[in-house]
């Protein structure tokens, strides 16, 4: 990652409310890319090579777990940190997320501080 | 006999003189030592005072640091709350259809409040019954019409007051319906002081043990902004205007 550039974060959620909130929290320090579905996220990631991905689990069509697995099969995202951001806090879902290649996990409703700390752990503080 | 006596007297005198001198020297030395002790005590006293002052300053700085830390956490929390309220407000105000406003309400309750069972009700035209407009995670069959004034939800719909479980006696609990046994909160929708509907929140997400102060702020926002948005989109849709609005928006996008 070029230290002079803002790290690029792809946020994936089918809820516009969550996208608004995440973008508002991140835009000061990171370059933010948005996707509202798994398919769109895969296209954006292949094109823009994000440094980190925030991924919802409950989404129509391709859910977050499958999207996460597919990210790991693509060259540009096979090692990209993926943080699952989801309302699903059940142990089996958390385990499934890690089994599908997730790097970290944040539960909604999330706390801004917790989200930023987890992102910073993987890509640094940002500009 | 004379000579030895004389000699002894001389010796005794000498000893006495020496003793006197020794005593004078000793007294003088004692005075000096006493003065030195007083000086050292003065130094010690000053150093003790200095140390106390430094300790007091350290305590003050530590207290100030704690105050700043507490304020920092408060600001951080307020910032978090304001972000959520801003996102929720923006989402509601960006909605131009009745269906989209309902979707916005769902998103806010699921993602920002953290509930997995809730229902949105709208008031019938004569203001006597609430009917389900949408719901999430619930058996629709259980969500029949609710008469205004009956049970906790019906009472909230009549009074316009938000109900939050555990915050005191529940008005309307005497005739509560089975549905309300797991009710966490009920937020009436108010437009110009008139109740136009309500959202009833039943179950919170497993990892969310209780409602937080920001949730109550979100309820206030839903009770006013979402209520207005639902009302306005209903009015606009019944007038046939949204079609032209959508067509105009689509035309502007093409341009």
**Domain residue extents for chain B:** 1-94, 98-254
Sequence-separated (6 or more) residues with CB below 8 Å from residue B115: B109, B136, B184, B201, B202, B203, B204, B205, B208
User: Do A111 and B80 count as a contact with CB atoms less than 8 A apart?
Assistant: yes
User: Do A108 and B79 count as a contact with CB atoms less than 8 A apart?
Assistant: no
- Asked if the C-beta of B88 comes within 8 angstroms of chain A's C-beta atoms, the answer is yes
ipTM reported for the complex, 2 dp: 0.92
How high is the pLDDT of residue A1? 61
pLDDT digits (tens, 9 = 90+) for B199-208: 999 999 999 9
pLDDT digits (tens, 9 = 90+) for B48-97: 999 999 999 999 999 999 999 999 999 999 999 999 999 999 999 999 89
- Asked if the C-beta of B100 comes within 8 angstroms of chain A's C-beta atoms, the answer is no
Q: Which CATH superfamily, name and number, covers B98-254?
A: GAF domain (3.30.450.40)
Q: What sign has the CA pseudo-torsion B244, B246, B248, B250?
A: negative
Give the A-side interface with B, CB within 8 Å: 15-18, 20-21, 24-25, 87, 89-90, 107-109, 111-113
The pLDDT of A23-30, averaged and rounded, is 94
Distance from CA of A71 to the nearest CA of B (A): 24
Helix (H, G, I), strand (E, B) or coil at B185: strand
The pLDDT of A75-103, averaged and rounded, is 96
> Tokens representing B250?
């689509």
**B61-73 b/e (C-beta count within 10 Å ≥ 16 → b):** eeeeeeeeeeeee
What does pLDDT average to over chain A? 94
- Asked if the C-beta of B90 comes within 8 angstroms of chain A's C-beta atoms, the answer is yes
CB-side exposure of A69: number of CA atoms within 13 Å?
A: 8
Please count the residue pairs, one from chain A and one from chain B, whose beta carbons lie less than 8 angstroms apart.
60
How high is the pLDDT of residue B236? 84
CA distance A14 to A35: 8
Please confirm whether the linkage preceding A109 is cis (ω < 30° from 0). Answer: yes
- The parts of chain B modelled with pLDDT lower than 50 are none
How high is the pLDDT of residue A118? 96
pLDDT digits (tens, 9 = 90+) for A47-75: 999 999 999 999 998 999 999 999 999 99
How high is the pLDDT of residue B244? 64
The DSSP H or E segment spanning B135 is strand B129-136
Query: Are B48 and B73 spatial neighbours (Cβ–Cβ below 8 Å)?
Result: no
Distance from CA of A74 to the nearest CA of B (A): 29
Distance from CA of B115 to the nearest CA of A (A): 9
How high is the pLDDT of residue B201? 97
Task: Round to the nearest angstrom and report the end-to-end CA distance of chain A.
Answer: 13
Domains of chain A: 8-118 (3.40.50.2300)
Interface test with B, best of A19, A57, A109 (most B CBs within 10 A): A109
Sequence-separated (6 or more) residues with CB below 8 Å from residue B103: B95
For B91, which of A17, A25, A87 is closest by C-beta distance?
Answer: A17
Contacts of B113 in chain A (CB under 8 A): 109
Contacts of A93 in chain B (CB under 8 A): none
């Amino acid at each position: 990652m070029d230290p002079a550039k803002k790290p690029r974060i792809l946020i994936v959620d089918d809820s516009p409310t969550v996208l608004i909130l995440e973008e508002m929290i991140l835009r000061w320090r990171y370059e933010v890319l948005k996707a509202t579905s798994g398919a769109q996220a895969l296209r954006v990631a292949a094109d823009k090579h994000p440094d980190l991905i925030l991924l919802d689990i409950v989404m129509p069509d391709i859910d977050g777990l499958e999207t996460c697995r597919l990210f790991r099969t693509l060259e540009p995202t096979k090692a990209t940190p993926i943080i699952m951001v989801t309302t699903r806090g059940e142990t089996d879902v958390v385990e499934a997320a890690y089994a599908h290649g997730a790097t970290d996990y944040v539960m909604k409703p999330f706390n801004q501080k917790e989200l930023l700390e987890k992102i910073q752990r993987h890509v640094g503080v940002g500009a | 006999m004379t000579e030895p006596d004389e000699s002894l007297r001389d010796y005794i005198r000498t000893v006495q003189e020496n003793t006197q001198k020794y005593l004078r020297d000793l007294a003088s030395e004692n005075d000096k030592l006493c003065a030195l002790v007083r000086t050292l005590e003065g130094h010690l006293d000053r150093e003790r005072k200095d140390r106390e002052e430094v300790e007091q300053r350290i305590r003050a700085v530590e207290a100030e640091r704690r105050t700043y830390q507490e304020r920092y956490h408060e600001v951080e929390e307020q910032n978090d709350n304001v972000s959520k309220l801003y996102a929720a407000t923006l989402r509601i105000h960006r909605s131009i259809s009745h269906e989209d406003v309902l979707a916005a309400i769902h998103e806010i309750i699921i993602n920002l409040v953290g509930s997995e069972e809730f229902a949105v009700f709208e008031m019938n035209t004569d203001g006597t019954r609430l009917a389900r407009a949408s719901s999430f995670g619930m058996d629709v069959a259980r969500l029949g019409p609710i008469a205004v004034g009956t049970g906790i939800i019906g009472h909230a719909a009549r009074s316009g007051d938000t109900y939050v479980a555990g915050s005191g006696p529940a008005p309307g609990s005497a005739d509560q319906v089975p549905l309300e046994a797991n009710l966490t909160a009920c937020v009436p929708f108010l437009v110009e002081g008139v109740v136009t509907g309500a959202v009833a929140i039943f179950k919170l997400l497993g990892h969310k043990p209780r409602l937080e102060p920001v949730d109550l702020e979100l309820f206030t926002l839903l009770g006013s902004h979402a209520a207005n948005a639902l009302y306005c989109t209903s009015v606009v849709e019944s007038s046939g205007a949204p079609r032209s609005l959508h067509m105009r928006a689509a035309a502007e996008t093409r341009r």
